[in-house]
């Protein structure tokens, strides 16, 4: 059992420590209410031994996700009974008390905590989201608009389906999902791993940022050293039980860790620009995915920054890759840059643009049943001999 001691007086904290039974683990001792709130969020204690000298702080700024509270009063005071109710205390211990009294209160808390956990587990089982999807955005190089596409698709999916959507920033150190949405993040995946809460949906949701569109955001880890791919996979699978769509903005590299995440993805959007290096790397990635026996329905190639005057035509690329693209995102530098710089997704603030229409088509790729009669994305025109010559560099 994990316990936090909260008391504004240091010496009182030491007195309490001497009375605690050996089966409890003290994960924190705080003298400030703000510190208590922080440790409750990040460490998830089972019980807080809460001195009534912090009661007014709690009432002024109550903890929403409050653990089991055992209140401690330094002196008898009838007012503490009323305050105990307001701070949601399960028991009130008035000094002086012996170790037996404290142990009895803690032992009673064990039974209540276990019952609460069983009830929560039953509720969670009954409320799990059915047919949810993990959608991973993957590309072989930077600068192809992966984060922008992931964020705008998330918002559009929310509008089209009215389902629950969460975007997970899988890029350590340089993750930019919150920036694209003009959101400030103090916490991230790092806090989830540090508290060993990868399977705790309630704790994970306390780490999420909320966008005005209704989409939730999980910021990426602050540093690679604290994150294992197994941690990220557990977090994704946990989110999948509570959200219709879990959209992951993946790192831009094809390594073993990436493969583990792609394995659990229901849809992989492979973003590609019409330039020789990107096409070549996309071809290599597709060959790896074929070797892993990914179904064609799982892999969706998206041509980003499509320009009808491009020297390379989409038909030629599709022929070379032996794969039909699922969408073409038109080149619109002004709209995209304005969206990024202002933190305003273009699907919300530029609804009449071609790029917004292209994102809507991607939503229909994810959920074809919602599709209406809309024009398909732009297709390449007939290839010319000169354009075919560009692909001689991709033969090997």
Cα distance from N-terminal residue to C-terminal residue, the chain: 60
Mean of pLDDT values over 132-160: 89
Domain boundary among the residues 75, 99, 127 is at: 127
Residues 360 and 284 in one domain: yes
Identify which of 112-121, 250-259, 284-293 has the greatest average pLDDT.
Answer: 284-293
Express as a percent the part of the chain with pLDDT over 70.
84
Q: What is the pLDDT of residue 382?
A: 33
Identify which of 237-246, 279-288, 307-316, 383-392 has the greatest average pLDDT.
Answer: 237-246
pLDDT higher than threshold 50 for residue 227: yes
Average model confidence (pLDDT) across the chain: 83
For 202-226, the DSSP string reads HHHHHT-EE-TTS-EEEPPPS-GGG
Domain boundary among the residues 127, 147, 163 is at: 127
Q: What is the pLDDT of residue 388?
A: 45
**What pLDDT, in 10s, does the model give residues 323-363?**
888 988 888 888 988 888 888 999 998 889 999 999 999 99
What is the C-alpha to C-alpha distance for residues 360 and 332, in angstroms, rounded to an integer? 16
Spatial neighbors of 100 by CB under 8 A, at least 6 apart, are: none
**What pLDDT, in 10s, does the model give residues 65-77?**
667 888 998 888 8
Domain boundary among the residues 91, 111, 127 is at: 127
Into how many domains does the chain fold? Answer: 2
Indicate the range of 21-25, 112-116, 163-167, 294-298 predicted with least confidence. Answer: 112-116
Contact 157, 363 (CB under 8 A): yes
Residues 105 and 143 in one domain: no
pLDDT higher than threshold 90 for residue 184: no
pTM equals: 0.66
Residues 192 and 339 in one domain: yes
Q: What is the pLDDT of residue 246?
A: 97
pLDDT band at 172 (very low <50, low <70, confident <90, very high): low
Residues 221 and 354 in one domain: yes
pLDDT band at 377 (very low <50, low <70, confident <90, very high): very low
Look up residue 11 and give its two tokens: 């010496």
Q: Report the SS3 class of residue 75.
A: coil
Q: Is 253 exposed, middle or buried (0-12, 13-18, 19+ CB in 10 A)?
A: exposed
Residues 123 and 162 in one domain: no
pLDDT higher than threshold 50 for residue 370: yes
**Dihedral over alpha carbons 251, 253, 257, 263 (to 10 degrees):** 90
Structural domain of 107:
2-127
Higher per-residue confidence, 253 vs 35? 35
Indicate the range of 45-49, 62-66, 367-371, 388-392 predicted with least confidence. Answer: 388-392
What is the C-alpha to C-alpha distance for residues 113 and 135, in angstroms, rounded to an integer? 36
What is the C-alpha to C-alpha distance for residues 56 and 83, in angstroms, rounded to an integer? 8
Residues 66 and 200 in one domain: no
Q: Please, what sign has the CA dihedral across residues 189, 193, 194, 199?
A: positive
Indicate the range of 43-57, 84-98, 115-129, 145-159 predicted with least confidence. Answer: 115-129
Indicate the range of 140-144, 191-195, 199-203, 332-336 predicted with least confidence. Answer: 140-144
pLDDT higher than threshold 50 for residue 209: yes
Q: Report the SS3 class of residue 58.
A: helix
Q: Report the SS3 class of residue 30.
A: strand
Distances (CA, A) of 83 to 55, 57, 106: 7, 11, 20
Residues 75 and 162 in one domain: no
Mean of pLDDT values over 60-65: 74
Q: Is 347 exposed, middle or buried (0-12, 13-18, 19+ CB in 10 A)?
A: buried
Residues 198 and 114 in one domain: no
Q: What CATH number has the domain bearing residue 312?
A: 3.40.50.300
Q: Name the E strands within the chain.
A: 2-6, 25-30, 47-51, 68-73, 89-94, 133-139, 165-169, 209-210, 216-218, 245-249, 267-272, 299-306, 327-330
Residues 167 and 280 in one domain: yes
Spatial neighbors of 68 by CB under 8 A, at least 6 apart, are: 46, 47, 48, 90, 109, 112, 113
Spatial neighbors of 199 by CB under 8 A, at least 6 apart, are: 234, 238
What is the C-alpha to C-alpha distance for residues 40 and 167, in angstroms, rounded to an integer? 25
Q: Report the SS3 class of residue 90.
A: strand
* Omega cis (within 30) before 346: no
Q: Please, what sign has the CA dihedral across residues 288, 294, 296, 298?
A: negative
For 383-395, the DSSP string reads --HHHHGGGGGG-
CA-angle at 336, arms to 364 and 323, nearest 5°: 45
pLDDT higher than threshold 60 for residue 387: no
CA-based nearest residue to 380, from 323, 303, 322: 303
Mean of pLDDT values over 274-294: 88
Look up residue 367 and give its two tokens: 């959920």
pLDDT higher than threshold 60 for residue 238: yes
Q: What is the pLDDT of residue 12?
A: 84
Residues 141 and 123 in one domain: no
DSSP annotation of 360 reads H
pLDDT band at 391 (very low <50, low <70, confident <90, very high): low
Q: What CATH number has the domain bearing residue 40?
A: 3.40.50.2300
DSSP annotation of 243 reads -
Q: Report the SS3 class of residue 43.
A: helix
Mean of pLDDT values over 232-252: 91
Q: What is the pLDDT of residue 300?
A: 94
Residues 298 and 384 in one domain: yes
**What pLDDT, in 10s, does the model give residues 42-61?**
788 889 998 999 888 888 88
Residues 106 and 9 in one domain: yes
For 281-347, the DSSP string reads HHHHHHHHHHHTT--TTTEEEEEEEE-TT-SS-HHHHHHHHT---SEEEE--HHHHHHHHHHT--HH
Indicate the range of 107-111, 160-164, 201-205, 213-217 predicted with least confidence. Answer: 107-111
pLDDT higher than threshold 70 for residue 112: yes
């Amino acid at each position: 059992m994990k316990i936090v001691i909260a008391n504004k007086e240091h010496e009182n904290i030491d007195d309490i420590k001497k009375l605690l039974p050996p089966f409890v683990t003290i994960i924190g001792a705080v003298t400030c209410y703000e510190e208590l709130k922080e440790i409750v969020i990040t460490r998830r204690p089972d019980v807080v031994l809460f001195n009534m000298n912090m009661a007014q702080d709690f009432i002024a700024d109550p903890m929403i996700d409050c653990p089991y509270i055992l209140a401690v009063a330094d002196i008898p005071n009838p007012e503490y009974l009323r305050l105990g109710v307001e701070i949601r205390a399960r028991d009130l211990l008035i000094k002086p008390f012996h170790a037996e009294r404290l142990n009895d209160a803690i032992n009673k808390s064990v039974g209540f905590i276990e019952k609460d956990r069983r009830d929560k587990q039953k509720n969670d089982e009954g409320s799990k989201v059915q047919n949810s999807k993990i959608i991973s955005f993957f590309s072989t190089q930077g600068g192809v608009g992966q984060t922008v596409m992931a964020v705008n698709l998330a918002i559009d999916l929310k509008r089209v389906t009215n389902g629950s959507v969460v975007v997970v920033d899988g890029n350590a150190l340089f993750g930019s999902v919150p920036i694209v949405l003009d959101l400030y993040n103090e916490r991230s995946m790092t806090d989830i791993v540090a508290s060993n809460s990868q399977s705790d949906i309630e704790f994970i949701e306390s780490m999420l940022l909320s966008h005005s569109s209704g989409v939730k955001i999980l910021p990426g880890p602050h540093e690679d050293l604290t994150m294992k791919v197994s941690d990220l996979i557990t977090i994704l699978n946990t989110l999948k039980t509570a959200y219709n769509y879990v959209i992951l903005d993946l790192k831009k590299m094809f390594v073993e860790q990436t493969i583990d995440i792609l394995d659990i993805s229901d849809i992989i959007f492979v973003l590609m620009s019409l330039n020789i290096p990107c096409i070549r790397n996309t071809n290599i990635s597709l060959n790896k995915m074929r070797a892993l026996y990914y179904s064609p329905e799982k892999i969706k190639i998206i041509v980003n920054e499509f320009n009808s005057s491009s020297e390379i035509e989409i038909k030629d690329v599709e022929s070379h890759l032996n794969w039909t693209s699922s969408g073409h995102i038109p080149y619109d530098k002004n709209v995209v840059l304005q969206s990024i710089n202002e933190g305003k997704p273009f699907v919300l603030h530029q609804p009449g643009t071609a790029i917004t229409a292209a994102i809507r088509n991607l939503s229909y790729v994810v959920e074809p049943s919602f599709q209406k009669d809309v024009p398909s994305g732009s297709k390449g025109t007939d290839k010319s001999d000169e354009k075919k010559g560009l692909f001689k560099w991709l033969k090997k």
